[in-house]
């Protein structure tokens, strides 16, 4: 075990996968010689060669389309989209092609591609280097959506994603690429897709969050102790498939729910969690469900700290929810 | 449309055909002709069945048969086909059973793709015919990625990307052509320019007079081919396939053809095509041209054609009847193949 940052864990997982399987290859913009704009692929070109670490022309639809073709042939491509905000030229390839190949071919053409992309705000990235649009992908049948929040999960979940038989959108919380550190194992040690992680246990309220929202949510849960509230924090880790069992079990215990994400509120991923709780855990609820989210605006540059949920807002929501009933 | 070709000067002489197509040139032409008559008969029957409400949709390939048939006959077994809208014949010529294709057209429970797609969108993995999308052009960059895989595994296969004139306007055409040029990949880009993207004539699709010129922008050769001439089409495809197979890079072939049918059974070309289009396009009919060639070579007799048609009719009639007798996919298939079967994902319904 070694202590690394989240982005270093991504790099290590790629290295482990490429060492284990000679048909894992990477493609994307600036990922080879430059090692990726966030250095996630640093050193991989030197060790695995230009055939497996492919600097592509600047075209997201070309990157995803080529990755789809590689996967149809049987390779295991891992495509990097430099920022999630730039994925839309490749969106047609993702939602119309990648997500549907297995289904539309009656299982004849599985299409296993991992698309890694840094997402989220808090890096002074403005409108187009900050968005958190996981709901588009979660809404599309046929895609798995994974969002780690720790180095260990980034490592283990990326390995699971690369060796999963289905397409995976792997969203990396770039705000905490270098601010969280932790131990990661050596070798092919995977974290299963589809299981939430209990960050801390509590009895009064369940807080559901993922990605870069885990650090402020953790801080908020700790701070709420001073308000006499025992908050349980669940890191969803994979949005699709959702670990609905863990969500329901927690709320059946605490009777209250706060959902946190930095994406816009309207039709955000939290709406699905709230709906599931309303449908399946209604009689366990003691108080209205509370969402702490970004705003229904484009992502603002100067006001990003106002836009993004922080520990204070989350703490207030926790306290309000507990006091509501 | 100014981009027409003079009708094929007839006849090619027998010695010339032997030199260009090999010793079994007459067998090749007969095979192609048989497929042409099969395809024409299939189109007529399916349009009729659609009008009777017995199938939901149909997209005829009438007028474009020579390109698909030539491709099906020119490829090797390990080559991959990424089809556009009217290339189902490639799969059939490569050996996908006609009866199976009819199950697809009727979207019944014996469709290998479980009736998931509209008619004319088959999947035929066993002949490396990739599942077709209705989204125009997406297959172009996919064919390129697949070709990257060939080189990566030292497989001497070639990827064929089929698309129409309309697809030359979409981003995936540009991205795919560009990637193939940059990486110098074994791809043959087959633009079947039938001169219409539903209602839009090709002159309004692109300012360049010949779509093949676009190849220059990607550092690859581009050639314009009379796609109603089976022989020229077959030879140009064979040449481009060989070039790609030998590691000498991609080629763009523009096959000029004449769409002799509506875009699909949902289309009414009288709203946009000039009144004389049908008559003009019929002059280029690849089936008629093949007939004239075979006739001039003394290879055609009414008896042979009658017998061929009798067999084709019987085959199609049986295949249609078998498909119509087959039950639709059961409701238990609805949620299959969204993900791999081994996955037992936690579900909110659970």
Look at residue B128 and tell me if it is in a domain: yes
Cβ of residue A78 closer than 8 Å to a chain B Cβ: no
pLDDT over threshold 70, residue B345: no
Look at residue B341 and tell me if it is in a domain: no
- Which among B138, B147, B346 is the nearest to A96, CB-wise? B138
Look at residue B147 and tell me if it is in a domain: yes
Total domains in chain B come to: 1
Look at residue B136 and tell me if it is in a domain: yes
Phi then psi for B114, rounded to 5 degrees?
Answer: 60, 30
Cβ of residue A65 closer than 8 Å to a chain B Cβ: yes
B347 contacts A244? CB cut-off 8 A: yes
B349 confidence band (pLDDT: 50, 70, 90): very low
Spell out, as residue ranges, where chain A has pLDDT lower than 70. Answer: none
Look at residue B3 and tell me if it is in a domain: no
* Mean pLDDT of the B331-339 span: 96
Cβ of residue A262 closer than 8 Å to a chain B Cβ: no
Strand bridging mode A231-235 / A197-200: antiparallel
Strand bridging mode A2-5 / A181-184: antiparallel
Measured CA to CA, the distance from residue B275 to residue A110 in angstroms comes to 46
Question: What is the set of active-site residues of A?
Answer: 129
Measured CA to CA, the distance from residue A199 to residue A214 in angstroms comes to 9
pLDDT over threshold 60, residue B10: no
- Which among A75, A108, A243 is the nearest to B346, CB-wise? A243
Q: What is the pLDDT of residue A325?
A: 85
Residues A200-254 pLDDT 10s: 999 999 999 999 999 999 999 999 999 999 999 999 999 999 999 999 999 999 9
Q: Which of B138, B347, B253, B103 is nearest to A64 (CA)?
A: B138
B324 confidence band (pLDDT: 50, 70, 90): very high
- Hey, what domains does chain A have and what are their CATH numbers? 2-184 (3.40.50.970), 197-324 (3.40.50.920)
The dihedral built from the CA positions of residue B296, B298, B302 and B304, taken in this order, carries a sign that is negative
pLDDT over threshold 70, residue B346: no
Look at residue B271 and tell me if it is in a domain: no
Lowest average pLDDT, out of A85-94, B11-20, B144-153, goes to B11-20
- Which among B149, B150, B179 is the nearest to A62, CB-wise? B179
B350 confidence band (pLDDT: 50, 70, 90): very low
Q: Percent of chain B having pLDDT more than 70? A: 94
Structure tokens at A295: 């705003």
Cβ of residue B350 closer than 8 Å to a chain A Cβ: yes
Domain range for residue B197? Answer: 15-264+278-333
Residues B247-260 pLDDT 10s: 999 999 999 999 99
| Residue linked to tokens 């060796």 | A163
Look at residue B302 and tell me if it is in a domain: yes
**Cα B324 to Cα B99, B106, B181, B283, B348, distances in angstroms:** 11, 7, 46, 36, 38
Interface test with A, best of B118, B122, B141 (most A CBs within 10 A): B141
Q: What is the arrangement of strands in the sheet containing A76-80, beginning at the earlier edge strand?
A: A53-55, A24-28, A76-80, A114-119, A168-173, A144-146, A238-240
A65 contacts B172? CB cut-off 8 A: yes
A62 contacts B176? CB cut-off 8 A: yes
Residues B43-92 pLDDT 10s: 999 999 999 999 999 999 999 999 999 999 999 999 999 999 999 999 99
Question: What is the set of active-site residues of B?
Answer: 259, 263, 272
Contacts of B32 (CB under 8 A, 6+ apart): B66, B69, B70, B73, B230, B234, B290
CA distance B221 to chain A (A): 20
Q: What is the pLDDT of residue B76?
A: 98
Look at residue B347 and tell me if it is in a domain: no
B175 contacts A104? CB cut-off 8 A: no
Cβ of residue A97 closer than 8 Å to a chain B Cβ: yes
Residues A146-171 pLDDT 10s: 999 999 999 999 999 999 999 999 99
The dihedral built from the CA positions of residue B334, B337, B343 and B346, taken in this order, carries a sign that is negative
Residue B120 belongs to domain with CATH number: 3.40.50.970
B145 contacts A68? CB cut-off 8 A: yes
pLDDT over threshold 70, residue B344: no
């Amino acid at each position: 075990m070694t202590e690394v940052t989240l982005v270093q864990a991504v790099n290590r997982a790629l290295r482990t996968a490429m060492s284990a399987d000679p048909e894992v290859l990477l493609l994307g913009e600036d990922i080879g010689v430059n090692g990726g704009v966030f250095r996630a692929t640093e050193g991989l070109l030197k060790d695995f060669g230009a055939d497996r670490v492919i600097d592509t022309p600047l075209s997201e639809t070309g990157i995803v389309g080529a990755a789809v073709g590689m996967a149809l042939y049987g390779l295991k491509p891992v495509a990097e989209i430099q920022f999630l905000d730039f994925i839309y030229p490749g969106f047609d390839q993702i939602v119309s092609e990648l997500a549907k190949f297995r289904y539309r071919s009656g299982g004849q053409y599985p299409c296993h591609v991992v698309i890694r992309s840094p997402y989220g705000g808090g890096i002074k990235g403005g409108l187009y280097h900050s968005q958190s649009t996981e709901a588009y992908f979660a809404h599309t049948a046929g895609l798995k959506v994974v969002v780690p929040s720790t180095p260990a999960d980034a490592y283990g979940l990326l390995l699971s994603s690369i060796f999963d038989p289905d397409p995976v959108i792997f969203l990396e919380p770039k705000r905490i690429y270098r601010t969280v550190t932790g131990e990661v194992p050596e070798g092919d040690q995977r974290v299963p897709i589809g299981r939430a992680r209990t960050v801390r246990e509590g009895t009064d309220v369940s807080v559901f969050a993922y990605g870069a929202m885990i650090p402020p949510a953790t801080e908020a849960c700790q701070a709420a102790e001073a308000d006499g509230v025992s908050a349980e924090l669940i890191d969803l880790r994979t949005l699709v498939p959702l670990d609905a069992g863990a969500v329901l079990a927690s709320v059946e215990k605490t009777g209250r729910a706060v959902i946190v994400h930095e994406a816009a509120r309207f039709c955000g991923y939290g709406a699905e969690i709230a709906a599931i709780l309303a449908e399946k855990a209604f009689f366990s609820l003691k108080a209205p469900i509370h969402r702490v989210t970004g705003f229904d605006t484009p992502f603002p540059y100067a006001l990003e700290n106002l836009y993004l949920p922080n520990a204070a807002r989350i703490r207030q929501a926790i306290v309000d929810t507990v006091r509501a009933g | 449309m100014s981009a027409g070709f003079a009708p094929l000067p007839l006849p090619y002489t027998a010695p010339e055909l032997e030199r260009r197509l090999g010793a079994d040139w007459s067998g090749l032409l007969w095979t192609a002709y048989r497929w042409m008559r099969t395809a024409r008969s299939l189109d007529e029957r399916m349009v009729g069945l659609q009008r009777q409400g017995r199938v939901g949709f149909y997209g005829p390939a009438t007028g474009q048969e020579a390109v698909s048939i030539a491709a099906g006959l020119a490829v090797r077994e390990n080559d991959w086909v990424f089809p556009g809208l009217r290339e189902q014949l490639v799969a059939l010529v490569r050996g996908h059973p006609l009866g199976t294709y009819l199950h697809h057209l009727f979207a019944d429970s014996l469709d290998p793709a479980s009736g998931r797609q509209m008619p004319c969108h088959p999947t035929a993995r066993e002949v490396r015919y990739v599942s077709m999308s209705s989204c125009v052009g997406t297959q172009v960059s996919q064919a390129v990625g697949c070709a990257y895989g060939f080189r990566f595994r030292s497989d001497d296969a070639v990827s064929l990307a089929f698309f129409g004139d309309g697809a030359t306007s979409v981003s995936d055409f540009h991205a795919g052509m560009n990637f193939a040029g940059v990486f110098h990949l074994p791809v043959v880009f087959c633009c079947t320019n039938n001169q219409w993207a539903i209602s839009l004539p090709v002159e309004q699709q692109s300012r360049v007079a010949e779509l093949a010129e676009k190849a220059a922008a990607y550092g690859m050769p581009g050639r314009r081919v009379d796609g109603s001439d089976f022989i020229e089409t077959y030879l140009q495809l064979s040449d481009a396939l060989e070039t790609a197979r030998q590691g000498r890079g991609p080629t763009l072939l523009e096959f000029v053809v004449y769409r002799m049918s509506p875009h699909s059974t949902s289309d009414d070309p009288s709203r946009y095509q000039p009144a004389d289009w049908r008559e003009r396009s019929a002059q280029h009919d690849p089936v008629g041209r093949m007939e004239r060639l075979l006739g001039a070579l003394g290879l055609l007799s009414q008896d042979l054609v009658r017998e061929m048609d009798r067999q084709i009719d019987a085959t199609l009639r049986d295949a249609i009847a078998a498909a119509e007798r087959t039950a639709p996919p059961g409701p238990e298939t609805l949620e299959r193949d969204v993900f791999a079967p081994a996955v037992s994902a936690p579900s909110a319904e659970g």
